[in-house]
Structure 1
């Protein structure tokens, strides 16, 4: 890690600690936590949560090769937790919060700048193409997740940017990945074929839309797909999620790797 990047890393760590340290906590994998989505598995010896296990059984290698959520959100608390407020208000169609948007954008920027090499190593290569998970109602550049994608630090790499096109199936409420939720134009399909695609999203709940995007990209010939998102949604309505939320007390630390465990091991 160069001296300038090391200096940025410490500054980013301090800034994010002051802004989101009291509401976000780092995701992690390990006993009792899913190797795919970092959610709870319920049993320490089980490596995948129920939803990721079912998705893998159905779709296999068509799914994303790596999912990288940065922080846990404490969802459906009463009163509403600040972490839920941040991920909801940044994209509110009525009154979006610029402050919330800028915080989430900086989280993505800092994570990709500090841990980009770690993510690329875990995925098997640097990403060559980037896209977002589109919305059913806010298409293309109008969706706030575009602002997240614009803040991904590319480490000097030439990254192609493409858009997925939603189909009518994006309105499905079953929260299960579908091969037909998105489509690609022939021109875009040619640009992803044989390449590593990074998919940017804001919140990972069931993975239905992120993994549907992966299925579309893999069908089009993408060699690898990595999903990078700000938040892994946990719900106080579900006992196993509640137990995981209560076990994670440390404030968000931008130097903790979102893949693997512990601090970033890049030389300083």
Structure 2
């Protein structure tokens, strides 16, 4: 994972050129106390975390949840059926082979993963107690998905981005659910303890976090000592934001992309 400064600057510039005009970096704290410190989503002032993360933390599986969650950018929606934002459209289109703009969307997802995982590998190690990831895993398509049994587009990208890092492969044994379902995923085969020391669990979008945390619980049950989640985008619904407090939606709308000055592993607070 040794990348020199010139390569890093080149990739950061490429990422800025690709998504810099519309991506908004995820934050985990705000002056008005409306950001969930776990997932970067909207929460009511005075509450410790958002509704979804609170549900996960009050489940019997609290001790087996991901140790850390970090997300690259927001995928905003005016309402649940809206996909007018470019980042939100990219998260739909990168999965489609024959859709207009799909190739550009896949290139953006690839650039995000290279920049924030490969080039910031040392940052992941630093915020994880000095333990670099020893393996990676992605979320497979669930049994009720049209892609069930087929390689997920994100998996294809990650195995190209992290070719020298061992994979811990998961398989879905149930249908997709937005709630925490600890039996939804299983490891395909046993892995050595050293491989499971620190698993980097990668997904494309976080809405409620149910699928990702279900996978984290599965990995912990199978022996993973540490699970770090990285998602490309965090869905944020402005209509929901408006319902929990005045100015909350506007606060999320005002966030910006700060390129190479922003490390998703270290930077947490919106000024």
Output the TM-score relative to the length of structure 2: 0.83
1:246 aligned partner: 253
CA 1:25–1:42 in 2, change beyond 3 Å: closer, same or farther? same
How far apart are residue 115 of structure 1 and its match? 2.0
1:99 to 104, 109, 133: 104
Segment drifting more, 81-90 vs 23-32: 23-32
RMSD of aligned alpha carbons:
2.7
Quote the residue 2:49 is aligned against: 48
Distance 2:9 2:268 in 1: 16
Q: Does 1:177 align with 2:180?
A: yes
In 2, Cα distance between the equivalents of 1:6 and 1:47? 38
Do structure 1's residue 128 and structure 2's residue 134 form an aligned pair? yes
Change in 2 beyond 3 A, CA 1:9/1:42: farther
Matched, 1:256 2:256: no
Aligned residues: 253
* SS, match of residue 27 in structure 2: coil
Q: Does 1:113 align with 2:118?
A: yes
- Name which of 86, 91, 100 aligns with 1:82: 86
Residue matched to 2:14: 15
CA shift, 1:167, in A, is 1.1
Task: Give the whole-Å Cα distance in 2 for the aligned partners of 1:143 and 1:79.
Answer: 21
State the SS of the aligned residue for 2:259: coil
Q: Please point out which of 149, 160, 166 is paired with 1:160.
A: 166
Q: Report whether the alignment pairs 1:226 with 2:228.
A: yes
Return 9-18 or 73-82, whichever deviates more: 73-82
Q: Which one of the candidate residues 126, 145, 154 is aligned to 1:145?
A: 154
Shift of 1:234: 0.7
SS at match of 1:183: strand
**1:216: how far off?**
0.5
Mapped contact 2:201–2:229 kept (Cα < 8 A): yes
Distance, in Å, in 2 between the alignment partners of 1:41 and 1:212 is 21
Cα distance change, pair 84–140 in 1 and its aligned pair in 2 (3 A): same
Find the counterpart in structure 1 of residue 24 from structure 2. 25
Partners of 1:181 and 1:244 in 2: CA distance = 35
In 1, are the aligned partners of 2:205 and 2:231 still within 8 Å (CA)? yes
* Distance change (3 Å), C-alpha of 1:216 and 1:193: farther
Structure number having the greater helix percentage: 1
Q: Can you give the 5+ residue segments of structure 2 that lack an aligned partner in the other structure? A: none
Question: Could you tell me whether the CA contact under 8 Å between 1:165 and 1:183 is conserved in 2?
Answer: yes
Between the aligned partners of 2:83 and 2:133, the Cα distance in structure 1 is: 40
